Structure 1
């Protein structure tokens, strides 16, 4: 919903409004991931009327991953045909239904269906969120706005655990689900993204939307002209059947290189324990602390560290290079995981006195800090930047498929892993896996900070994508025309 009299609001505030709609959705996603941590804990109590088996519990925590796959399959077609705005709006409906059904559930089947609905909506949004935020944002703000995805996850996890600690699980479910109502309202207040409108040949609507988000300064005008011209060239070169188009697409370096990078990014994201820890925080921290810290206190300790670090990452990602932040997070996480694993082994062997048996808690919290600082925000930031507009929907869908598959595999196997090799062995496996993914990404991942989406696309094509003086003069001309029109 665009209004004509918006110029008194700064472009940054308008971008922030649009981004906030996606942020509220991702807060809900964080709550979806973390809610089993409190739900299952309450259902294990003797007075609970709803009883679950261990198999039920692992499915309730992990079925989001399977449902994500279906959502991610739908997402590319929705993003391409319906647009970013309508996709964001529609994705709130299954998640709202899922939370409502969860609050009313009377048995394991209803819980599983509710979690599946949440996962389906999350799958659509997993592809739509980074694309939408990147297309809403100016290059100088894009890093910070994309980092809000990490902040949103951390906030949602904290909210779910706080509500689940203070409220009965049905009331907590309604409270967590309410964020999707706010998301729907904020998304509805914002216009469609300019790149999508340009891809559909809607030039006038694209200009109007672009000016709503970015104003009329020369750098924005030249970026707008390049966006429109590049889409005209793409439209003019489209030939042949859909199958031929797909075959040509997968051979292009500007498609397969970003897709390969994002596959490793999302494998790294999941194998670092990003979704396992929120789902199994209480039993994991009971093992790490050897029962010396109350379970709910240790859960909130993890949540607070994650939340504070996520706030910090919004500033760090915008100030430092993407690669710097990512590999800083990887190095901290690997060192902390291996140290925590070593301390747990030594404690189990009786090498650590009883008064110090809580010491593995320290490297565990450092691990939470490291993965939240670099491994949580950077994959989402890169996902919003790295795909060319022509393939953005398809590339996000394919890479998101790896995210959902790894989500299911890692969360479903976590209870078995904890039981068979303990938390110490699981930490060792995660630390080693993170290190291996980090080595691949060290050679594959380019730096994207401060570059326009067009310049990033040109990097993968292997051509020079700098904006030259001709485009600068075009932008200045457009600005002068706007000044004349405004009197």
Structure 2
């Protein structure tokens, strides 16, 4: 009983620990090394799970997995955003949601078909593949530029983006802006920099937006549903569908929608995708609750007791389409380069705290007011967060990270003028102020 009570809590505490450490690692060690190191505690956690013989080892294993996940949660959006071009950044950031959904599906398939120690070995092997792929990648160009490694920055940028004229323009903007920032930072103390940072709109506005984003993320049931799929679906279907079958149905819908989201996020505006997902989720949650209440009062006959399953699957579709990918996409784009590690750490901390609160309250909520009442609370929470984000969230699709930074600074007409010859070489770089 003690293990059951601590199992979700230990993961939340581990996530907080990992996210607290992540900003320091990202700033001091770089994106690439931080991502490499994040795989090691996760690998150790899975190895302990394979050989575990007592509850203490299981809890230590869970903590190490959560610790690695915490570092990854803070570093992955930043790394992907800094690697990718504006045109494809949305699709690449949406792969975080795709990976989440794929992981849930694969883990549930392994758990259903394999002995639990074998399943742990199969899941742990994914981190070995991840470590190899990260090791083959270069450091991100923006991080190299913050360290004054401009030669390495050019090499990494061109390895990732090629030698196109548009890419060269973005590279020169990055280098020149960072040279100015590096010079300014050297003129003042670090403490003064931190004190001034929290007062800047380009820092506190994105931070507030990400707080609402991650409240939305957690209150949509994003982490609760995978943890309580079996009892939740047993109540939704009233036993008319075998619980493991309904769990796999949820996983398949989530996986297929995550694949679709990678395409949709790159084609449509971020705000459009987010609010479509919010609308679908809110409506389907309330419809599911209504059907469950009608069933309890005897207004739905026995042969149609499975009908709440339909809006439940639509809810899974809606939240996976918009609420799952967009917060991670925005998290990688919205913070200025100078504050990206710090901002990601603060917003990630809020994500972990919300995870802890939601997971700890979920069992009591399901027990006291049932799935129908819990879905009503989730639907109302999503609607409230969506209302705030409608007024706070700017559109970021197709914009460079520098342009997004200018938006929060309130600079509307700040453009970099770059002239290039027919071979793509820079002829002139300057700042043009229009109006």
1:107, distance to aligned residue in structure 2 (A): 2.3
Alignment match, 1:383 = 331
Distance change in 2, residues 1:454/1:351 (3 Å): same
1:273, distance to aligned residue in structure 2 (A): 0.3
CA contact (8 A) 1:219 1:472 kept: no
| 1:164-214 superposed Cα distances (whole Å, 9 cap, x missing partner) | 000111111110111000000000001100000000000101011111011
Alignment match, 1:145 = 92
| 1:1-55 superposed Cα distances (whole Å, 9 cap, x missing partner) | xxxxxxxxxxxxxxxxxxxxxxxxxxxxxxxxxxxxxxxxxxxxxxxxxxxx1x4
Alignment match, 2:131 = 184
Distance change in 2, residues 1:273/1:440 (3 Å): same
Q: Distance in 2 between matches of 1:162 and 1:125?
A: 24
Query: What does 1:239-250 align with in structure 2 at a 5 Å threshold?
Result: 239-250=187-198
* Paired residue total: 427
CA contact (8 A) 1:221 1:475 kept: no
Alignment match, 2:430 = none
Q: Distance in 1 between matches of 2:34 and 2:222?
A: 26
Query: What does 1:63-462 align with in structure 2 at a 5 Å threshold?
Result: 63-238=10-185, 239-462=187-410
1:59, distance to aligned residue in structure 2 (A): 2.2
| 1:311-356 superposed Cα distances (whole Å, 9 cap, x missing partner) | 0000000000000000000000000001101111111111111111
Q: Distance in 2 between matches of 1:145 and 1:96?
A: 25
| 1:404-444 superposed Cα distances (whole Å, 9 cap, x missing partner) | 11111111211111101111110000000010010110000
Alignment match, 2:431 = none
Q: Calculate the aligned-residue CA RMSD, in Å.
A: 1.5
Q: Structure 1: any 5+ residue segments left out of the alignment?
A: 1-52, 481-487
CA contact (8 A) 1:154 1:310 kept: yes
Alignment match, 1:47 = none
Q: Distance in 2 between matches of 1:156 and 1:436?
A: 29
Q: TM-score, normalised by structure 2?
A: 0.96
| 1:281-311 superposed Cα distances (whole Å, 9 cap, x missing partner) | 1111011100110011000000000000000
Distance change in 2, residues 1:460/1:407 (3 Å): same
1:464, distance to aligned residue in structure 2 (A): 2.9
When structure 1 is superposed on structure 2, of 238-247 and 288-297 the one drifting more is 238-247
Q: Distance in 2 between matches of 1:290 and 1:241?
A: 63
Distance change in 2, residues 1:277/1:375 (3 Å): same
When structure 1 is superposed on structure 2, of 149-158 and 405-414 the one drifting more is 405-414
Q: Structure 2: any 5+ residue segments left out of the alignment?
A: 428-435
Q: Distance in 2 between matches of 1:377 and 1:217?
A: 29
CA contact (8 A) 1:59 1:412 kept: no
Q: TM-score, normalised by structure 1?
A: 0.86
Q: Distance in 2 between matches of 1:218 and 1:149?
A: 29
